[in-house]
Structure 1
Amino acid sequence: MRTAAFLALIPTLSCAQVDQGERNAEFTPAFENQTRAPALPDTFVTVTTFADGLANPWGIAALPDGSFLVTERSGSLRRIASDGTLSDPMSGVPQVGAQQQGGLLDVAIAPDFSDTGVLYLTYAKGVDGGTVTAAARAVLQGDRLTQVRDIFVQDPPADTYAHYGSRVVPTPDGKVFITTGEHFTERNRQLAQDVTTTYGKTIRLNADGGVPQDNPFVGKEGVDSIWSYGHRNVQGATLGPDGTLWTMEHGPAGGDELNHPQAGRNYGWPVISYGVNYNGSPVGSGESAMEGMEQPVYYWDPVIAPGGMAFYDGDYADWQGDLLIAGLNPGSLTRLRLEGDRVTGEERLLQDVGRIRDVEVLEDGDLLVLIDADPGQVLRVSPGT
C-alpha cells in the first residue's frame, strides 16, 4: 500500500434516536422512522490513507484486476493500483465544463467489462446556449479511452453551473440509469415537474443509448428516456440487493431524500419538500405531502448533502445489507439499516475526515471513500477493527 498511515479508531455516539441536529422545518413525518430513526450500535472503524494527490475526486469504480478508476472534477480520469499508486491522467476523456459544480463526475463499468472494456462517464458538457449533464460510453484500452460517444445529453441547455445530478448505474439486464439535477434557479427548478425536459429526472437507457420500450413515457407525452421525475439534484444512486434503483437527492435547507424510484412516478420537487428554501421561505406549496406525489423512504433535516451510495455486501456481518451514503456537509458516512422499504436505524461515521463524495465496498469487506478536496484523498475504512 502506497500510504497506510493510521488515522483514527472512530466510535460513534449511541442514543435512542440518531442526533441529526437542529431542524430547519417542523414537518410531521408521514410514517414512523421516516426521519431520525433509532441510533444503531456504535461501530469502530480503522481509517488509513489508500491514495492521495487527487484533485476533487468525484466517482470511483473497481476494476476486475483489483485496481480502480477515479474521476477528478477538473477533467482527469486516473487509475489507482491495488497498492495505492496513482497513474497519470488517461487520454481520450471527453472535454468537460469544469466550472463551479461542473466537470468530470461519475464513472461506472459495464457488467461485461471483463470481455468488452465498456465503461460509462457522466460529465458537465458545454453546448451552444449553456451547459448540460451528459453521459458517455467508452472502451478502456490500457490507459486510454476509445470509441467514446455520448449516449445522453440533457436538454435544454442551462445557464447555471450547478445541480448536475450525474450518477450512472449500469444494470445486469443491459440497461443504464443516469441521474440529473434541475440546475438550481427558480426558473429551472420548475422543469423538474415537466416531463418534456430531462431536468430533475432519473433516466433509463439501453446500454448502447437506445430507449427501452418498457420505459413509462414511451408512446405518451414526455421524454421517452425518463424513468421518474420531480427530483431536485440526485447525486447518489445504486442498485439494491434485488436489482432495483435507489437514489439520494439534495434538498434545500433540510429535505435531503432517500428514494426508491418507481417507473413514471412523481417525487414532488419543487411542489412538496421536507425542507425550506435557503432564505427560510416555504418550498412550492409549503406542504410535505400531496396526492399523486411520492413520499421519500427517508429524509434528513438538517442535510447530510449526499454523494454516492452503496449497499454493503462485504464480510463484516453487522453491516450486511445496510446502505452506506457519502455526505459532504458537514461531512460523514451515514449507515442505514432497512427492512424492505423502511429504515429501522441510522449511524453516523467518519465525521472528522472531510467532505465524502463517494463510497465503494471492497471484496474483503473494507470500504474506499473519496475525500472531495484539492488535494483530495482516497481513504480505506475497515469496520469492526
Structure 2
Amino acid sequence: MCNSAVRAQSINAGDHMASATRPFAVQPVAEFDTPWAIAFLPDGRMLVTEKPGRIFLVSQEGQKIEIGNMPEVAASGQNGLLDIAPSPDFATSSRIYFTYVAPDDGGSRLVLSSATLSVSGDGATLTDRTVIWRQTPGGGGGQPGGIIAFDPKGTHLFLTVGDRMRPASAQDPDQARGKVLRLNLDGSTPPDNPLAGKGGIQAQTWTTGHRNPYGLAFAPDGRLWLHEMGPRGGDELNLIEPGRNYGWPVVSNGDEYSGAKIPDHDTRPEFASPAVYWTPVIAPAGLAFYEGPMFPQWQGSALIGGLAVHALVRVAFGSDGRPDEADRWGMGARIRDVAVAPDGAVWIIEDDEPGHLLRLTPERPDG
C-alpha cells in the first residue's frame, strides 16, 4: 500500500454519530477497579491491569487470579498502572512487559518493566522483575502514554511516552516525553535507530512531537499506527514512520483549552499530519487491528475505544491504504481498551469503578 496516499489531506471524522444498532452481542464477563489494559496470552487467557496497581490473570469465563509481587505505583489522576503485553516469545519464556507511573523524588516517572509470569495452582506471581526503561528526566503531570507494541518479527519493542503535561518537552530531543521509542527487548538501544549515534534519549527515539498517545499497534500489512489525544479538538490517528516529527505542540488540529488557537498541521508541512483526526474529540484509548473469523467484514480494520464518546470506533482502510472512520457504536460507557481474542471475539473494558470486561460476538440473525 502506498504511504503517500496516507499523507494526503487529513480527514476529520469528528462529526460522526454513534449508532445505537450494534452488529454484535455484548456479554459482561467480569468487573474490575478502573481497568486499563487487556492482553491475551497464547492459551486464550487474559492479563488485565487496574490503574490503582493490580494485575489479574483472567479466564474467558471471568475467573480472576491476582498476580503477586507488583511494584509500587503512583496512582492518581491519569497516572497509575498502565499497559501490559506478553513477550513475543512468551510461549517459551513466560515473560511479560508492563508500564506504570512510579513515585519518584520531586514527581513521578513512567517506567517499563519486564518479569516472568509464574503460575502455580491457584496462584500467580511475578519473578525476576526488571526495570528495563525509566523516563529521564522524571517529573510531569498526567498524559503518560505508556503503550507497548512489538514489531511483527518480535525483535523490537516500541513504547509511547506522553508529554506529561509539559508540552514543550515533546520537541526537546533530550527529554523522554512526547516520543515513540524503539528498544531492544532488554531495553538497550538498537544500532539502526534513526539517531542511534547520538546516544541517550535521541538514540532511542523513533518519532517525536506527540501529546498523549494511548494507542499503538502494527497493522496486518506491517505498518505502525498510533493515535493520540489532542487538546480541545484534534485527536489524531498517525502513520508512524522513523525519524518523523508529528508537530505537537507547534501544530495541532485542535485549540488550547483556553480557546487560544494553535496553527493547523497544513500550515507547517515539515511536520507529519494525521491521516484521520477528530474534532470534536473521541478521546481515543486502546487500539487493536482485527484479524479473525468472527467478523470477516472487519478484517484489517482498526478498533479504537472512545472515552469521551462512550463508543467503540472502527476505522477501515481503502485499497490505497488510506484510513477513515467506518463505524461508531454507542456502548454507554467510557471504553478504555480493546483486544482481539485468538478465536476472533472482540473484548473491551470500561473505564469505571467498577469497569466491566465485555466480550463481543456476532449478533445472530434472529436477534
Structure-2-length-normalised TM-score: 0.90
**Residue of 136, 140, 145 corresponding to 2:126:** 145
**Which residue in 2 is equivalent to 1:307?**
285
Do the aligned partners of 1:289 and 1:295 also contact (CA within 8 Å) in 2? no
- Cα drift, residue 280 of structure 1: 1.2
Match of 1:239 among 214, 218, 229: 218
Q: What per-residue deviation string (whole Å, max 9, x for no partner) do you get for residues 118-175 of structure 1?
A: 1100000112221121110111111101111111111112242x00011111233311
Q: Does 1:257 align with 2:236?
A: yes
SS in structure 2 at match of 1:167? strand
Pair 1:167 & 2:144 matched: no
Aligned to 1:343: 323
The answer as to whether partners of 2:39 and 2:85 remain within 8 angstroms in 1 is: yes
TM-fit CA distance, 1:364? 2.4
Q: Tell me how far 1:286 sits from its aligned partner.
A: 5.8
Residues 37 and 344, structure 1, Cα contact 8 Å, conserved in 2: no
* Equivalences for residues 16-95 of structure 1 within 5 A: 31=8, 34-36=11-13, 44-52=23-31, 54-87=32-65, 89-95=66-72
Mapped to 2, the partners of 1:201 and 1:383 lie a distance apart of: 37
Among 93, 108, 121, the alignment partner of 1:131 is 108
TM-score, normalised to structure 1's length?
Answer: 0.86
1:322-341 to structure 2, matched below 5 A, reads 322-339=301-318, 340-341=320-321
Offset of residue 33 of structure 1:
6.2
Per-residue Cα deviation, 1:281-304 (whole angstroms, up to 9, x for no partner): 112x46643032101111000111
Quote the residue 2:332 is aligned against: 353
Rounded to whole Å, the distance in 2 between the matches of 1:314 and 1:35 is 29
Cα offset, 1:204, TM superposition: 0.7
Which segments of 5 or more consecutive residues in structure 2 lack a partner in the other structure?
Answer: 1-6
- Decide whether aligned partners of structure 1 residues 68 and 286 sit closer, same or farther in structure 2, where only a CA change above 3 A counts: closer
Partners of 1:200 and 1:364 in 2: how far apart?
35
Q: Contact (CA 8 Å) 2:170, 2:179: kept in 1 or not?
A: yes
Checking the alignment, whether the CA contact within 8 Å between 1:60 and 1:107 is kept in structure 2 is yes
Contact 1:39–1:346, Cα closer than 8 Å, also in 2: no
Counterpart Cα distance in 1 of 2:181 and 2:340: 25
Shift of the alpha carbon at 1:345? 4.4
Q: Give the Cα separation in 2 of the matches to 1:38 and 1:168.
A: 30
Is the aligned partner of 1:202 residue 2:171? no
Tell me how far 1:363 sits from its aligned partner. 2.4
Counting matched residue pairs gives 349
1:297·1:341 contact (CA, 8 Å) conserved in 2?
Answer: no
TM-aligned CA deviation for residue 217 of structure 1 = 1.3
> 1:383 corresponds to which residue?
362
Q: For the Cα contact (< 8 Å) 1:71–1:107, is it kept in 2? A: yes
CA distance in structure 1 between the partners assigned to 2:230 and 2:353 by the alignment: 25
Structure 1 residue 266, shift from structure 2 partner: 0.2
Q: CA RMSD in A?
A: 2.1
Distance 1:269 1:248 in 2: 13
Tell me the distance in 2 between the aligned counterparts of 1:375 and 1:345.
Answer: 29
**How far apart in 1 are the matches of 2:80 and 2:255?**
28
CA distance in 2, matches of 1:341, 1:279: 36
- Is the alpha carbon distance of 1:354 and 1:155 closer, same or farther for their aligned partners in structure 2, counting shifts above 3 Å? same
Corresponding residue for residue 179 of structure 1: 160
Instruction: Return closer, same or farther for 1:46/1:60 CA change in 2, 3 Å cut-off.
Output: same
CA deviation digits over 1:259-296, x for unaligned, max 9?
1111111000000100011121112x466430321011
Measured in 1, the distance between the counterparts of 2:187 and 2:349 equals: 29
Asked if 1:228 corresponds to 2:199, the answer is no
- Report if aligned partners of 1:34, 1:342 keep a CA contact under 8 Å in 2: no
Asked if residue 280 in structure 1 is aligned to residue 259 in structure 2, the reply is yes
Unmatched runs of 5 consecutive residues or more in structure 1: 1-29
Q: Match for residue 11 of structure 1?
A: none
Please identify which structure carries the higher strand content: 2
Q: Does 1:158 align with 2:139?
A: yes
Q: Corresponding residue for 1:96? A: 73
Structure 1 residue 384 displacement after superposition: 4.6
